[in-house]
Amino acid sequence: MNEDLRFNIYMSGVGGQGIGILSEVLIRSYDNAGYLVKGVDTHGLAQRGGMVESHLRVGCTGGNPLIEPGKADLAVSLERTEAYRAMSRYLRKGGVLVYYNTLWQTLGVRMGEDEEITEEMIKSEADLRDIRVYEIFSDRLPDIRMQNIALLSGAVRENVFTGISCTDVASALRDLFSGAMLEQNLDILNCG
């Protein structure tokens, strides 16, 4: 078991975007790479388009898997509003944000309680806190619900997930999917 790495990943999205699958793929990927990893999902109003979050602690040997605000090394979000929230609340100064550039209009935005977040707002906040940002988008997905794998693919290519390779992720996908769904996800991942 590789015990050199200690890394906190906070993930967020809107119900239906696949944060749970993304979390499970990352847990299995880190496990495949020989790391201890703990994860926990919280769903809130996920079935109604509300926020969904996952906490992953790589190299964590005990204790609470929940990441404290301001302690995440990496924030991963499948939507701009959630990316801004994740960066503002959970990401440490000097951390990394990777997000899928789409807007699902969270409940707060639809109800007029929250402002619609723009790329410029994310960049401005990131600059203030010395945060490295990776913005990902694909217009060639066979199914919009595969945005989570498109984000994963882009982040793996950028080497954002410390300690794991595309091979580890592909192996995790093989654990979770089969048939046409597996082939589509591997095609999006595109390790070649």
Centroid of chain to Cα 111: 25
Q: Domain of 135: which CATH number?
A: 3.40.920.10
Tally the domains of the chain: 1
Q: Can you give the pLDDT at residue 60? A: 72
**2 lies in some domain:** no
In a domain, 16, yes or no: yes
The answer to whether residue 133 sits within a structural domain is yes
pLDDT digits (tens, 9 = 90+) for 45-88: 555 566 788 999 998 766 778 899 999 999 999 999 899 999 99
Q: Within a 10 A sphere around the Cβ of 174, how many other Cβ atoms?
A: 13
Cβ–Cβ under 8 Å, residues 145 and 168: no
Write the secondary structure of 14-43 as one string of H (helix), E (strand) and C (coil): ECCCCHHHHHHHHHHHHHHCCECEEEEEEC
* Residue 172 included in any domain: yes
Q: pTM score, two decimals? A: 0.89
Report percent pLDDT > 90 for the chain: 63
pLDDT, residue 94, reads 97
Low pLDDT (below 50) residues in the chain: none
Tell me what pLDDT residue 40 has: 86
